[in-house]
Structure 1
Amino acid sequence: MDAAFTEEQHEIRRTLRELLHKRCGPDEVKAAVRTPPGYDEQLWRQLAAQLGLPGLALPAVYAGVGCGPTELALACEETGRAVLPSPLIATAALAAPLILALGSERQRAELLPPLATGELTGTLVVPGGRLATALALTGANDGDWAGGGRAGGIQARRVAPQGAASGPKGGEGPGVGAGWRLYGEAGQVLNGHSAQVLVVAAHTGGFARSRTLLFLVRADAVGRTGAQVGDDGPAGLRGLLRTRQTALDETRPQARLELRDVPAELLGEGAEEGEGAGGADGAAVARALAATGAVAAAALAAEAVGAADTALARTVAHVRQREQFGRPIGSFQAVQHRLADLYVSLQAARSAVYYAAWSAGRGRSGEPTAAPYGPHATAEPGVAALALAQALETLRAVAAEAVQLHGGIGFTWEHEAHLYFKRAACDELLLGPVHRLRARAAEEAGLFPGGADAVDGGGPAGAAGPVRRRRAVPERRSMRDAGR
């Protein structure tokens, strides 16, 4: 493994850093988050047209750059430095990888090029705020995280076109030209109020053939944000309602989606006839979500590292200027020790993020057909979750110290230090918390092969677990006995 970056990777970092330094200061960030989409659309189009940012990790055959998760993580580190509000994570790390991994050739050719060039944005819709579980970052995604049973979450049912015979029990049969309808709701959807392409996780099959599949919804064809559009029924009873939610971190806008008999298309249509990429297979969906989770975790962790780096640099610059007792507070040893600890933690997190990105791409980039998001791509177990936990914890510590060391001005809500503080708090809610990420990483890495019983010491007689919480306390001996 060669850990050195290539000249192309260095160029991506330099170009993006220079552009964001000119166009994305704290005042520009605060102005962009208050626009209807929640980000600067002109800047996003410039990033897409000049740098191909949303298509960095997509194959060139779909108008992408043909790089991999490593290049995407490097770009995310730079966007994290500026706390850039953009649909980059939702589009490039969530929606596009799933379409590439599971979509049919027609779906890929139709959706991936506009996503890669920034003409369209996308996101992943998971009900119940279970995004981290769906991506297999905080738990196994083989359960009922999408809302099992006949109620709850998002339900999908097959419908036959007018004039065609319905399948058994309300259109569950294949049918010729049959479509799908989605019903349910989901909250905390990243960029859900503005994304044009929605990849929706929905439950289908009832109790007999219960499984979670992914569906495509073209939001611009169904309805607009904040408005319900009738569909062969009274207005207000059918359609898509999208409402932007109030979030602590305005740089990551989230939305609540209500789907009421919304027309949808199965991701990987034709899979049942052998033409697709496994879209109708629940196991394939779980694998693709897990592979996407590794890339998304590396990208989000890279943004956290970039934000922490900038927050630490600005804090160091501040303590060099702020004086107390006639000298800069940065000259005090206690302050220096605190900053040194943060620097060490930051470098450790950066190394973990780079390794996680390399592992998610299997050490390869630029392959035209075998994209790292493919259904057979597997990252090293536990690496992505562990890197994300390290990065989120580091950002939280750096942001807290930044507020503290900025003194009274740092506690004002309008100060730029709170941009990083809010980002640290909300990112952990998005794909955390940290302790569950670490627990999942330990589980995936097989640190406790005996399960919880072996860890607690409650396994079968004679079973030896690798780690036990209950350890025998040796008998105490007096100093006289110890000297014998």
Structure 2
Amino acid sequence: MDAAFTAEQDEIRRTLRELLGKRSGPDEVKAAVRTAPGYDRELWQLLAHRLGLPGLALPEEAGGVGCGLTELVLACEETGRTLTPSPLLATSLLAAPLIAALGTTEQRARLLPALAAGALTAALVVPGTALSTALDLTADSAPGAWAGGGRAGGVQARPTPAEQAGGGEPDRPGARDGAAVGDGAGARDGAGAWRLYGEAAQVLDGHSADLLVVAAHTGGFARGRAQLFLVRADAAGVVRARQTALDETRPQGRVQLRDVPAELLGSDDEADVCAALAGTGRGAAAALAAEAAGAAGQALARTVEYVRTREQFGRPVGSFQAVKHRLADVYVQVQAARSAAYYAAWDPGQGGLALAQALEALRTAASEAVQLHGGIGFTWEHDAHLYFKRAAADELLFGPVHRLRAHAADRAGLFAAAPGSPPTTVPATVPTTVPATVPTAGPAGSGEERVAV
């Protein structure tokens, strides 16, 4: 196997880094997050037209570039370096793969070219904090669990009278609200055959996306199941508002659905939906890992640059051995996270472990950046806090790290008991405290590799 990147992949990385270096510096990022959508629309269109970024991993017959997950991972590493706010995560990593996997031929032909061209943005609406569960990252995507439950909460779906009767157009006022999602030309088969009601918070780009892919519970409580539906963001009954988020570079919104017409995405087989969500989660985890590794690498680079010039006691801060050791530890973590992300691009099944490694590296790099920048690093206005907030917010959205690793271990059966073996129990005589004579581990950071400061 040749693990080296191709010339085309290196060119994608180089071009994107050059463009973002000019258009997405810290000042531009801070200005973009304060706009209504939370990102620079002009930059998003530039990325779509020049690089085809929204459709990088979509096939050419769907209007995409025809590359694969590896190219998207490299692109996400570059957007992570600059913390560029964009609809890339919600549109290209979450919504588009679900439409490609579950959508009917007509749905894919209607929606994917617009998503690939950047003309249409989308968001995955999962109630509550169940996004990581729905994507099979921290727990099994149990039927119905990621849609908010059946009796109350989340989003509920019910068929229209016409659908219950066996087909036809909804025989109720406002039936034309069921025009096909993404197309104002009129109603199509299945469009508007369902009505959704409920609420979901903390939806990535939920306040600005043009298309909503909504996880909803159908069938009541006793025989309920979870399905995915397509909803036009401008449909009657959709109420959206931007929420205050810890990480402003990942804008989030609250979505309320008040008897909104919806279109079932693909079939009504819940097993297919869970499988598609799990597959989407694996690819998204690999891209998120690369994004976090890129952010961690940039946080480290800025810290190294600062300690080279900042003087204390008549000498650069970076000349102190303790500072060198701390930065060397961060460097090792960042390189391990980058390698794990690249491996996950080749084997998406390892996306969860790669994401855990990258989130941990980003948290460490951001914390050290705040610490080693001294008094100025503790101010909210400093750029180091952009990376610190990204590290904390990503763990809240897709982690935490220990659950990502625990779920990966459960799937691999690392701690499964051997057939016929008795259950493992803890004797009652085992002490609950550590004796004072037990030696503790020494400090980390004894490796030979160092960061030049």
Q: Does TM-score exceed 0.5, indicating one fold?
A: yes
Q: Within 2, Cα distance between the matches of 1:317 and 1:148?
A: 50
The percentage of aligned residue pairs carrying the same residue is 70
Q: Which of 385, 404, 411 lines up with 2:378 in the alignment?
A: 411
Instruction: Give the TM-score normalised by structure 2.
Output: 0.87
Classify 1:471/1:437 alpha carbon distance in 2 versus 1 (closer, same or farther; 3 Å).
farther
Q: Within 1, Cα distance between the matches of 2:114 and 2:429?
A: 62
Counterpart in 1 of 2:205? 191
Counterpart in 2 of 1:118? 118
Counterpart in 1 of 2:390? 423
Which whole-Å deviations, capped at 9, do the CAs of 1:70-119 have from their partners, x for residues lacking one?
A: 11110000000011000100011000000000000110011000100100
SS state of the match for residue 418, structure 1?
Answer: helix
Q: 1:207, CA displacement in angstroms?
A: 3.7
SS state of the match for residue 139, structure 1?
Answer: coil
Which whole-Å deviations, capped at 9, do the CAs of 1:274-330 have from their partners, x for residues lacking one?
A: xxxxx2100000000000000111111111111111110010010000111111111
Give the letter aligned to residue 254 of structure 2.
Answer: R
Gaps of 5+ in 2: 172-188, 431-453
Counterpart in 2 of 1:346? 334
SS state of the match for residue 141, structure 2?
Answer: coil
Q: Within 2, Cα distance between the matches of 1:54 and 1:89?
A: 9
Counterpart in 1 of 2:439? none
Q: 1:160, CA displacement in angstroms?
A: 3.4
Q: Within 1, Cα distance between the matches of 2:52 and 2:58?
A: 10
- Please state if 1:23 is matched with 2:23: yes
SS state of the match for residue 187, structure 1?
Answer: strand
Q: Which of 244, 258, 261 lines up with 2:259 in the alignment?
A: 261
Give the letter aligned to residue 242 of structure 1.
Answer: R
Counterpart in 2 of 1:204? 218
Q: Within 1, Cα distance between the matches of 2:153 and 2:222?
A: 17
Which whole-Å deviations, capped at 9, do the CAs of 1:113-144 have from their partners, x for residues lacking one?
A: 01001001111100112000000000000142
Matches within 5 A, 1:177-256: 179-220=193-234, 222=235, 229=236, 239-256=237-254
Q: 1:209, CA displacement in angstroms?
A: 3.2
Deviates more, 1:299-308 or 1:199-208: 199-208
Counterpart in 1 of 2:160? 159
Deviates more, 1:12-21 or 1:122-131: 122-131
Contact 1:154/1:185 (CA < 8 Å) preserved in 2? Answer: yes
Q: 1:166, CA displacement in angstroms?
A: 7.0
Instruction: Give the TM-score normalised by structure 1.
Output: 0.81
Classify 1:53/1:471 alpha carbon distance in 2 versus 1 (closer, same or farther; 3 Å).
farther
Q: Within 2, Cα distance between the matches of 1:110 and 1:264?
A: 16
Q: 1:15, CA displacement in angstroms?
A: 0.2
Q: Within 2, Cα distance between the matches of 1:92 and 1:108?
A: 14
Q: Within 1, Cα distance between the matches of 2:75 and 2:199?
A: 32
Q: Within 2, Cα distance between the matches of 1:404 and 1:470?
A: 43
Which whole-Å deviations, capped at 9, do the CAs of 1:316-356 have from their partners, x for residues lacking one?
A: 01000011111111111100000000000111111111111
Classify 1:469/1:342 alpha carbon distance in 2 versus 1 (closer, same or farther; 3 Å).
farther
Which whole-Å deviations, capped at 9, do the CAs of 1:443-474 have from their partners, x for residues lacking one?
A: 11110223xxx8xxxx97x4387xx877999x
Which whole-Å deviations, capped at 9, do the CAs of 1:253-292 have from their partners, x for residues lacking one?
A: 0011111111000001xxxxxxxxxx21000000000000
Give the letter aligned to residue 88 of structure 1.
Answer: L
Q: 1:145, CA displacement in angstroms?
A: 2.5
Give the letter aligned to residue 158 of structure 2.
Answer: R
- Please state if 1:313 is matched with 2:313: no
Which whole-Å deviations, capped at 9, do the CAs of 1:389-448 have from their partners, x for residues lacking one?
A: 110111000000000000111111101111101111101111111111111010111102
Q: Within 1, Cα distance between the matches of 2:263 and 2:423?
A: 51
Counterpart in 2 of 1:463? 422
Counterpart in 2 of 1:375? none
Contact 1:182/1:260 (CA < 8 Å) preserved in 2? Answer: yes
Q: Which of 364, 368, 374 lines up with 1:397 in the alignment?
A: 364
Classify 1:30/1:105 alpha carbon distance in 2 versus 1 (closer, same or farther; 3 Å).
same
Q: Within 1, Cα distance between the matches of 2:296 and 2:20?
A: 16
Contact 1:211/1:282 (CA < 8 Å) preserved in 2? Answer: yes
Q: Within 1, Cα distance between the matches of 2:345 and 2:113?
A: 23
Matches within 5 A, 1:356-367: 356-360=344-348
Q: Within 2, Cα distance between the matches of 1:166 and 1:331?
A: 76
Q: Which of 438, 443, 455 lines up with 2:410 in the alignment?
A: 443
Contact 1:49/1:117 (CA < 8 Å) preserved in 2? Answer: yes
Counterpart in 2 of 1:330? 318
Q: Within 1, Cα distance between the matches of 2:7 and 2:288?
A: 24
Give the letter aligned to residue 25 of structure 1.
Answer: G
Counterpart in 1 of 2:444? none
Q: 1:148, CA displacement in angstroms?
A: 2.1
Matches within 5 A, 1:52-71: 52-71=52-71
Matches within 5 A, 1:348-387: 348-360=336-348, 380=349, 383-387=350-354
Q: 1:149, CA displacement in angstroms?
A: 2.1
Q: Within 1, Cα distance between the matches of 2:37 and 2:325?
A: 42
Give the letter aligned to residue 438 of structure 1.
Answer: R
Q: Within 2, Cα distance between the matches of 1:302 and 1:123?
A: 21
Gaps of 5+ in 1: 223-228, 230-238, 269-278, 361-379, 474-484
Give the letter aligned to residue 67 of structure 1.
Answer: C
Q: 1:157, CA displacement in angstroms?
A: 0.6
Classify 1:290/1:470 alpha carbon distance in 2 versus 1 (closer, same or farther; 3 Å).
farther
Deviates more, 1:98-107 or 1:429-438: 429-438
Classify 1:266/1:447 alpha carbon distance in 2 versus 1 (closer, same or farther; 3 Å).
same
Contact 1:204/1:213 (CA < 8 Å) preserved in 2? Answer: yes
Matches within 5 A, 1:5-16: 5-16=5-16
Q: Within 2, Cα distance between the matches of 1:421 and 1:191?
A: 21
Give the letter aligned to residue 150 of structure 1.
Answer: R
Q: 1:14, CA displacement in angstroms?
A: 0.1
